[in-house]
Structure 1
Amino acid sequence: MKFEKLNFDYILENLDISSKLGKKRVKEIQFTNDSLFLEKEFFNLEVVINLLEKNPKIYSVMKRKLSNLKDISSIVERLINGYVLDDVELFEIKIFSMISQEIYELLKENYKDLAPQNLEKVIDILDPDKIRIASFHIYNSYSIELSQIRDKIKETKDESLYDKEIELEDNVRKFISKKLLNYNQVLKSSIKRLGYLDFVFAKAQIANKLNLVKPTFANKTKIVGMFNPKVLKSLEEKERIYQKVDISLGKRVTVITGANMSGKTLTLKTLGLIQVMAQTGFFVSAESAELQLLDDICLSIGDSQSLEEGLSSFAAEMLEIDGIVKKIKKGVRPLVLIDELARTTNPEEGRALLKSVVKILDRYSIEAIITTHYDDIGKDVTKLRVVGIKKDILLESVDYKNIEDYIDYSLVEVDDGDVPEEALTIAKLLKIDDEIIKNAYEYL
């Protein structure tokens, strides 16, 4: 995945995955615009969430069974390639099949589409005496001749019979491997389904834990009560309140202005996170979310300085922007997220570059959100501004530790791109040297 800057890694790291099969499934996550695939993912997720609501205990039961699963993919491949399996490999298939069958029995009635395959016949091959215990050896019931040889060895202690016993056991292994080969497809299907089942249970658990909601796809973006789960968790640990934000994006490029510390970058990242979650089959961090179905997410967020290549922040940023524009001109329709475009160059050229990029994005009707400090951006954009400092409730006790509690992170649409002059207010609240503040006001 390539969306670490959006905190999607936080979502993945908090998935309660129990098995290696589930972990393998997580690594296969893809950002997709296949609406049918995503609708199926959301349907399955809803099914599991409803199952957990009806039967809360099934979560721990299922996770315990899944945690005992081993990945037998390589063993099945050896079987398909004609190898005779040894006792350890046959044991692994038996244990896998027994656990898989237990899960199948739990789900087969009402959740057949999520259940693994019925592996009862595979178990019968590996457990001819139907003892159903977690062990395997070459049972006497596999071969009358083998049973007779073993009886003779037990009675006579004749060591010359050992070679014959080994030969007959090898024949049984060949027989078992040949029979199991007929079930290679149901074994492969069960491996895949159990990995997915572990994954979808983890997605359901995190959806409940983080209060995520099912997104819908339309021709516009409208999100109510969006939040960043990682930041929300951090604030909760500090016993502070997280302010959720609403946002609606029009057909034009959206530009967000606001003073430093006003949450512009976090808003940008959270928008991207919600898009990633939706188009990888997760429920999203909002109270409701209507999104466009897009081809990709293109980012230019944070300090892009590349010491290895000797590039300045500005040069690296321009290369990122160039890559985004080239991708768009090739026909890709991404969500474009740009944080403080050209902030490291002089204001006149920076504003000109911003207008130029906006013009291109607008021409190709790209859903794009750009944060900036620049004013006078033009009229061909939707302009949003962070409300900012709550000056009516400021207290003397405000300092750098709690100043964020006095910022309103809501977004309001404005007619112009003027950025509120809150920098000096924030500087005063941070108890910056009076002379610095005084001189600054004089220059203003």
Structure 2
Amino acid sequence: MSNETPLMKQYKEIKEENRDSILFFRLGDFYEMFFDDAVIASKELGITLTSRNKEKGQDVPLAGIPYHSSASYIAKLVRKGYKVAVCEQVEDPKTAKGIVKREVVKIITPGTVIDTDYLDDKSNNYLLCVYIKGDRAGIAYVDITTGEFRSTEIEGEDIISKALNEIHKISPKEIIVEEKTYEDFSSKFKNYAEISEMTMQSVPFVKNSELVLKDYFKVISLESYGLKGKREAVAAGAMVLEYVLELQKYNELPINKISYDNSEDHMELNLTTQRNLELIQNQREKSNLGTLLWVLDTCKTSMGTRMLKNFIKNPLLKVETIEKRQEDIGYFIDEVLIREEIREILKNIYDIERLIGKVIMGTENGRDLIALKKSIRGSLEIIKILGNRQLFETDLEKLVGIYNLIERSINEEAPFSVREGGMIKSGYNLELDELHDLSKSGKNYILEIETKERERTGIKNLKVKYNKVFGYFIEVTRANSSLVPEDYIRKQTLTNAERYITPELKDYESKVLNAKEKIEALEYQLFKEISSGVKEENRDFQELAQNLAYLDVVTSLSDVAIKNNYVKPKVFEGFSLNIKGGRHPIVEKLVGAGEFIKNDILLDEKKSIIILTGPNMAGKSTYMKQLALIILMAQTGSYVPADYAEVGIVDKIFTRVGASDDLVSGQSTFMVEMSEVANIVNSATEKSFVILDEVGRGTSTFDGISIASSITEYIHDKIGSKTIFATHYHELTELEGKLKRAANYRIEVKETESDVVFLREIVKGGADKSYGIEVARLAGLPKEILNKAKATLKSLETKRALIEKKMKGEQLSLFGGVIESKENSVEEEKRVLTPEEEKAIGIICDTDLNALTPLDALVKLSELKKMLK
């Protein structure tokens, strides 16, 4: 016969249904965890691991936490990637017959945390679903703390990589993938360090996806949400909604609509570009220091910062939308007093999005409503200041109504708990006031009883006292026990005194204690009625929150534009990029205003490719990135760091910068480089902007030059995108004479007998020399190494000169010329070419380099190497 207790049987049944979660099992004032859950919780939370009754001869591991402080423990587990199932007592233990009924009321995962105290207030807590079918993907994501619910669709080759680019933009805390494509997605997902730390799991496809969304939003069609015919987006939306509803079993959600974002309205930024440009997070500390966000964010509210992040990661493609933002920013640049007054008020506006989310989900307290009231007051002040120039429309009557409701009902210093009373103002409810009067008059009434009993009994030191165990009682010393009346009922005997109660005292005790319970119950009831009134206007509050966030963003961007001396760029539907006096927004802020060297650029139909040469440390990468950032800023609607700027709309920005390998997938630095370049040449269009930095450096010199030249020619002839190719291969400067729309530029260097100075200026013409040893000197290499390097360099240059001299009339061109073999030509005076060498030369002469793709060039070079060995 099993010795399993009814409680453990109940626990195991519930745990069986939630095997992938840590089960918080409610027992009185504690959440208990048993077996493996207890062991995990003990380790991860730093709480004591103990055991309870033996079961089948074994101790049951046990760990517990107080239920009133569970939020911090749950947050800690969720941050570590665990799911937590919260199991509550769903019936009153006093009236339960047998074991108390318990149920899991919610399951908390990284993407479904509702306790905002443990979330980053300046970042959304997104749960995202990706649904892939063929070459199309639907993406839907929701933040249940704010009610934001969005979807989009993307299509094309390598759809998983495209989806990962979008996921990196959105930065969800949790990803769910339809189970049929989970394995394919997961294998590629792990190769991206930036997002692989996100929690990810598979979910089943939701049948009748459209019906699920229509039922939830209570609409007859999804057309009003822009989802008509968007099957993949609808499927992803239904899956993420079903997932949330399943986990938040009894919570009402602040999700009122689903918005469709057309991917054709926003610039495409792949994962590599987002990382290289350091838009939101730097690559070192993974913070926002030294990022574009760091430069642009002077927002006064967390709502504004969240919206600004979205703007930065989603530059616009429609000129009219960009110009509308520019107009709003320009207004606040001109109206200095209005801008500063509004920014001062914004400081006192709370996170309305999340406050309303708490109200809808029933997790609000009195202080949340006070914060909402203050935010309404600030909003009304802003609307008054804006006067006739209304950036948004708001139902003032509803706002005033909610303000007045909270003003007359909720105490300014309301407690955090909604169950202990003290929230409701006196004068709001007559019954509550009477109960408070009864509770407050208790001291006087006790004194009256005490005085009356002293006179009746003649016991002068008789006292009426109270404690939590016995309630109210009369205490009489033993010396006066003979004077105690017959109607006194003995309650407790002490060493030197006796304690009694009387019917009158017991009746009063009942009234006082009941009054306290009634006050707490009535206050909670009234509080929820007030919250319901606020909840009814949740759509208006969510709209107000979005409007205030936008106002915060445009005033922040106007503030930054003035302080940093930015200009309004001309954005148009065209090809050219014309920037005069451009600066890198991040580097400029780091080095200080006035210290950064300005540079120009003009790319148009006549000149679309720049081959940029110059030494390391001279500023090539900074120059290229600054151009990409100026384009991106312009298309977010922001002003830009330049003296003048014209930006033709760019559909995609690509960056191939720096060297890295991928140890997880076994790819070398050069393979990663070639993969990134392949992605660029396969995805770029004529309207794209491409940065290529030192492509081809991961292999031998001739291999690298061949690949670099082929890539440049391919972009020039086949794609036509605006491109800057920074290189140390001086040989590439020969392309200017071969490619009609290519031009050479270099970083100017000032050289003296004893020193080299990098001037950071971009000038026309190619560099004919590298300064690697000078860079090594600046880096601090020992003089012994530097001197040896100089000697070796001089020797190599001498040998090269000798070879060139011996070549005499021979023709050597790396770009389609002819190599003629003659006796006594290169290595030895009497040496002739071998048959293999002659064959290799013949292959080179017969190869049309213009027709080679980068991959073809690699294959061809590999064949030649094998032949010559």
1:46 counterpart residue number = 330
2:719 paired with 1:367: no
Do the aligned partners of 1:224 and 1:246 also contact (CA within 8 Å) in 2? yes
For 1:147, the equivalent position in structure 2 comes to 433
- Aligned counterpart, 1:197: 551
1:91 maps onto 2:370 in alignment: yes
Residue type of the alignment partner of 1:44: D
Instruction: State the alpha-carbon separation in 1 of the partners of residues 693 and 770 from structure 2.
Output: 19
- Which deviations, in whole Å up to 9, do the C-alpha atoms of 1:88-128 show, x marking residues without a partner? 433332233233334333x3315421687643222111113
Q: How many residues align?
A: 420
Q: Does 1:382 align with 2:742?
A: yes
3-state SS in 2 of match to 1:101: helix
**Residues 86, 94 of structure 1: alpha-carbon distance in 2 compared, 3 angstrom cutoff:** same
Equivalent residue letter for 1:276? L
Show the counterpart of 1:120. 400
Aligned to 1:420: 768
Matched, 1:230 2:578: no
1:349 to 2:635 alignment: no
Question: 1:39: Cα distance to partner?
Answer: 1.6
Q: Which has the higher strand share?
A: 2
Task: Check if 1:298 corresponds to 2:298.
Answer: no
Q: Aligned residue for 1:13? A: 294
Q: Are 1:385 and 1:411, in contact at CA under 8 Å, matched by a contact in 2?
A: yes
C-alpha displacement of 1:282: 2.0
- Distance of aligned partners of 1:163 and 1:265 in 2 relative to their CA distance in 1, 3 Å threshold: closer
310-319 vs 132-141, greater mean Cα deviation:
132-141
After TM superposition, give the deviation of residue 12 of structure 1 in Å.
1.0
2:741, 2:688 → 1: CA distance? 18
Q: 1:326 to 1:408 in 2, by over 3 A?
A: closer
Whichever residue aligns with residue 734 of structure 2, its letter is D
Change (3 A) 1:133 1:285: farther
Question: Taking structure 1 as reference, are residues 359 and 99 closer, same or farther at Cα in structure 2, changes over 3 Å only?
Answer: same
Residues 116 and 194, structure 1, Cα contact 8 Å, conserved in 2 = no
Which structure has the greater CA radius of gyration? 2
Question: In the TM superposition, what whole-angstrom CA distance separates every residue of 1:259-307 from its partner, at most 9, and x where no partner exists?
Answer: 2144322221111111121222321121111112122211101113334
Matches within 5 A, 1:5-404: 5-9=276-280, 10-14=291-295, 15-29=297-311, 30-52=314-336, 54=337, 59=340, 62-80=342-360, 83=362, 86-105=365-384, 107-113=385-391, 118=396, 119-128=399-408, 134-135=412-413, 137-155=423-441, 158-159=511-512, 160-218=514-572, 219=574, 220-236=576-592, 241-251=595-605, 253-261=608-616, 262-328=618-684, 333-362=687-716, 363-372=718-727, 373=729, 374-377=732-735, 378-386=738-746, 388-390=748-750, 394=752, 398=755, 403-404=757-758
Distance 1:64 1:4 in 2: 34
Amino acid at match of 1:271: L
| 2:761 paired residue among 409, 413, 422 | 409
Deviation of the 1:247 alpha carbon: 0.8
Larger helix proportion of the pair: 1
Q: What displacement does 1:205 show?
A: 2.1
Distance 1:113-1:63 versus aligned 2 partners, 3 A rule: closer
TM-score (norm. length: structure 1):
0.81
Does the 8 Å CA contact 1:228/1:270 hold for their aligned counterparts? Answer: yes
Rounded Cα–Cα distance in structure 1 between residues aligned with 2:411 and 2:743: 68
- Deviation readout 1:49-100 (Å, 9 max, x if unpaired): 2222x46xx53x544543343324344235446x495434333322332333
Asked if the contact 1:16–1:202 (Cα under 8 Å) also holds between the matched residues in 2, the reply is: yes
Distance 1:308 1:316, change over 3 A: same
Which amino acid is the alignment partner of residue 613 of structure 2? Answer: G
**Is the 1:18–1:67 Cα contact (8 Å) retained in structure 2?**
yes
Amino acid in the other structure paired with 2:351: D
Q: How far apart are residue 48 of structure 1 and its match?
A: 1.8
Cross-structure match for 2:258: none
**Within 2, Cα distance between the matches of 1:167 and 1:429?**
77
Q: Matched residues in 2 for 1:424 and 1:25: separation?
A: 44
CA gap of 1:163–1:307, structure 2 versus 1, over 3 A, is closer
Matched residue type, 1:100? S
CA shift digits 1:371-409 (9 cap, x unpaired): 232233232432131262345xx4x5635xxx22xx362
Once residues 546 and 395 of structure 2 are traced to their aligned partners in structure 1, the CA distance between those partners, rounded to angstroms, is: 10
Structure 1 80/133 Cα, relative in aligned 2: closer, same or farther at 3 Å?
A: closer
- Once the two structures are TM-superposed, the CA of residue 441 in structure 1 deviates from its matched residue by 4.6
What is the identity, as a one-letter code, of the residue corresponding to 1:223? I
Return the offset for 1:183: 2.2
Query: In the aligned structure 2, how far is the partner of 1:308 from the partner of 1:12?
Result: 30
2: CA distance between counterparts of 1:271 and 1:170?
58
Are the aligned partners of 1:104 and 1:115 in contact in 2 as well (CA < 8 Å)?
no
Comparing 9-18 with 218-227, which one deviates more in the overlay?
A: 9-18
Of all paired residues, the percent bearing the same amino acid is 23
How far apart are 1:250 and its partner, in Å? Answer: 2.3
Structure 1 387/72 Cα, relative in aligned 2: closer, same or farther at 3 Å? closer
2: distance between equivalents of 1:408 and 1:165? Answer: 74
TM score, norm. by length of structure 2: 0.44
The alpha-carbon deviation at position 248 of structure 1 amounts to: 0.4
Quick check: 2:615–2:772 contact (8 Å CA) kept in 1? no
**Partner amino acid for 1:398?**
D
Question: What is the CA-CA distance between 1:4 and the residue it aligns to?
Answer: 4.2
